[in-house]
Structure 1
């Protein structure tokens, strides 16, 4: 339903990525995968605040009516124009996302195409009956039934003769109704950067350094010594890209998020049981690992696997919800091949349940495990026997139509083929593996010849 277009984005001269339940980005180092995931993340953030236009709500402030019916189809037909405007501004300000100078992305162009008709069908399958109270003025109620794109908006308690309150009704109504509509298309996006292991350990120290400089900045403002403060900032603070800064902010708000477990908590528990062999605990702004013996261990002395998976487990436990987007840069980070396979199955399960999972990976093991899940979904004979033998479950199996694999290669992005009998054709890994195997064979047989000659 969403197709992102990239031009002149870092090493990417041109390319497109269609986001599905599971989107897999592969390619060699320095081919632009992180550029792509950051751009998707940044644009998703922008679009989550998109406000649509509903002419009926404008009429509501001009007439003494307490109830109107809004046709969402009319608003959706104007969505392409809205998206073009947002994408244009986002492309112009792309340097802010990466915290670099403007010239670095002066010619970049990021676009987004939405299948409007498909989105309309999705909206027809949603319903809501929700009320919003605004201070002591009144209440706005929004009602939508299944199978329709019409929404009733009911205003009660607002003074019809009060022009300001009537304008407030129209403005609030547009904002709230936009959230209902857009949330099904541009839901919350969470990104786990490749730097997460170090950030999980040192986020308090990172904050301390910045707070000290902010304090110095305040002194500088008092003393009018702004030039010295500016120089100190430039010398001592490395600029963070927005996804990095947002992840740091997430780490500083852990206790605020850890209120109520969400619908993906069972997957988080599977990762803890099957991979890290323990649990996490957040207490007094510190993260601890609790091993199988119940011993509390500071995160900084735990294994690299425990460090790298903390953010994912916490997100799945408390924050993930159906329709949201989870982006992971190198999910295989610090994982043994067997654990990479287990993580692939957990991510497949989350994707099947409605979480949009986007990963950039160098892991042949993860791709092969996704292939197993793709092939098993097509298998009929001996399927139950094989699944039982290797511990697969039905909710892990992947449909080819739900998976979008891409290869970043030579300044472009190419879709990878999904073969019904083999799964994803990942030549980028196959060539390396075949070359390594060929080298091993040549070395082995050369050693054998030397031994025979010596005998």
Structure 2
């Protein structure tokens, strides 16, 4: 799936066209809107309409006959229009407050969506709203989500040509038919809840990420906020229990406001606290192995409600580990549970990492992209960009060798990839058509910095903004050298 965005009036960003692809890279000076744009894309891909054209009549027909057919293109257009309406009426007006805890002008954007539909998707939807508890709500004692009183059905989405079908396999062991079952419950609530879930699942069918996370630049600080999060939940519970007592209500509310973070940070903290309880996916096991062997040089474990780092000779709490290990922990935990097609935003992945480690991290991210992960990163690292350039150029050379039947050159390419100081697995080579790169300028414009391979075959990303800084420093060093020579002459 590709997302084409024309963004205006997003903080310092005045005008930009962004094509979101499996790997998207943002570079540029500080305070130019890179993080704002990255978070906006995350918000767009995490927004779904709660109504998308089904309606009571169609849902009732589905429940009674267990099968319903649509014109796919019409359904998709209805969904996209409902999605854009949800963005305009809900997501954009709340974007600044939700993601940054500030008030600002509502961003202006135009969206083009190029989808790639899956053949069949299984959808699990709830047949009743919870009797108590909210999925994902944190309990201060167990830190687990509550799923009390839910009934689950199974439904399937299937596309055949331009016919889109939703069907519910009938279970002969079930005591009720769906139509009879609905008579016992509030059908308005049931219909609304089904359509809301269907609209979200249809988004996944179109290629939206089912699992996503922002790893913010503040990530290492949040490793120590478990106690804060437990305290907040305890205060929230006290506030609910004592809402009728005026003095308690006012005091507790002021405390809750004092420790309030933007929602995106609370989501990140929730992910850290619940990461060990998530189902292991194994999709990115090779990437995790590379991280553990070449970067972490150890393994991160979770026990006694805390993260620990095992480095072979011993084990220490994560608080005593290096800053590089702390910075990589969220990525490692995300990869353990993320399914194929998940979406990850990383703000400055190079943080706390030696240049060689930055290269290895870029290789690991490229491997993850080739395994199905969608990655958007903001970076100030020429090492990461150089690595992506190398991986894209290597990919084109490998394809040229195959196209021209030059098998005698395959070994030379393999030797280049294996050469020290870091080995590059072939699984990390990047298809240039699957990534985008943009430079955010200080004048509010955003520039596409992908080079046309025919012009400069060895460069895919133009990062001259970094080399210009180095050249300026070398020029100053040269002038200092001339000045020193003059001093030596006069001393003689």
Match of 1:307 among 326, 329, 332: 326
Equivalences, count: 440
Counterpart of 1:339 in structure 2 is: 357
Label 1:310 to 1:19 Cα distance change in 2 as closer, same or farther (>3 A).
same
Map 1:277-288 → 2, pairs under 5 A: 277-288=297-308
Match of 1:415 among 419, 441, 448: 448
Label 1:130 to 1:199 Cα distance change in 2 as closer, same or farther (>3 A).
closer
Q: Is it true that 1:41 corresponds to 2:55 in the alignment?
A: no
Label 1:398 to 1:170 Cα distance change in 2 as closer, same or farther (>3 A).
same
Shift in Å, 1:72: 2.4
Q: Is the 8 A contact 1:128 1:145 kept in 2?
A: no
Match of 2:288 among 262, 268, 290: 268
Q: Is it true that 1:450 corresponds to 2:487 in the alignment?
A: yes
Counterpart of 2:270 in structure 1 is: 249
Gaps of 5+ in 2: 129-149, 171-175, 402-408
Q: Is it true that 1:73 corresponds to 2:73 in the alignment?
A: yes
Q: What SS class does the counterpart of residue 424 from structure 1 fall into?
A: coil
Label 1:270 to 1:63 Cα distance change in 2 as closer, same or farther (>3 A).
closer
Shift in Å, 1:402: 0.8
Q: Is the 8 A contact 1:23 1:404 kept in 2?
A: yes
Question: 1: CA distance between counterparts of 2:198 and 2:64?
Answer: 20
Q: What SS class does the counterpart of residue 221 from structure 1 fall into?
A: coil
Counterpart of 1:105 in structure 2 is: 104
Question: 1: CA distance between counterparts of 2:12 and 2:387?
Answer: 29
Shift in Å, 1:211: 4.7
Q: What SS class does the counterpart of residue 377 from structure 2 fall into?
A: strand
Counterpart of 1:424 in structure 2 is: 461
Gaps of 5+ in 1: none
Counterpart of 2:94 in structure 1 is: 93
Label 1:167 to 1:191 Cα distance change in 2 as closer, same or farther (>3 A).
same
Q: Is the 8 A contact 2:50 2:197 kept in 1?
A: no
Shift in Å, 1:134: 4.9
Label 1:58 to 1:384 Cα distance change in 2 as closer, same or farther (>3 A).
same
Question: 2: CA distance between counterparts of 1:169 and 1:72?
Answer: 24
Map 1:49-448 → 2, pairs under 5 A: 51-54=51-54, 58=58, 60-61=60-61, 65-89=65-89, 90-98=91-99, 100=101, 104-115=103-114, 119=115, 122-123=116-117, 125-128=118-121, 134=127, 141-142=155-156, 144=158, 149-154=163-168, 156=170, 157-158=176-177, 160=179, 164=183, 174-175=195-196, 177-184=198-205, 185-187=207-209, 188-200=211-223, 202-211=224-233, 213-214=235-236, 217=239, 221-225=243-247, 226-234=249-257, 236-237=258-259, 239-257=260-278, 259-293=279-313, 295-317=314-336, 319-379=337-397, 380=401, 382-390=412-420, 391-409=423-441, 410-420=443-453, 421=457, 422-448=459-485
Counterpart of 2:15 in structure 1 is: 14
Label 1:15 to 1:132 Cα distance change in 2 as closer, same or farther (>3 A).
closer
* Residue deviations 1:280-325 (CA, integer Å, cap 9, x gap): 00012100000022x11111111110111101011112x2121111
More strand by share: 1
The range that moved more, 178-187 or 127-136, is 127-136
* Residue deviations 1:79-107 (CA, integer Å, cap 9, x gap): 33223202212111223313545xx3234
The range that moved more, 1-10 or 60-69, is 60-69
Q: Is the 8 A contact 1:139 1:158 kept in 2?
A: no
Label 1:214 to 1:10 Cα distance change in 2 as closer, same or farther (>3 A).
same
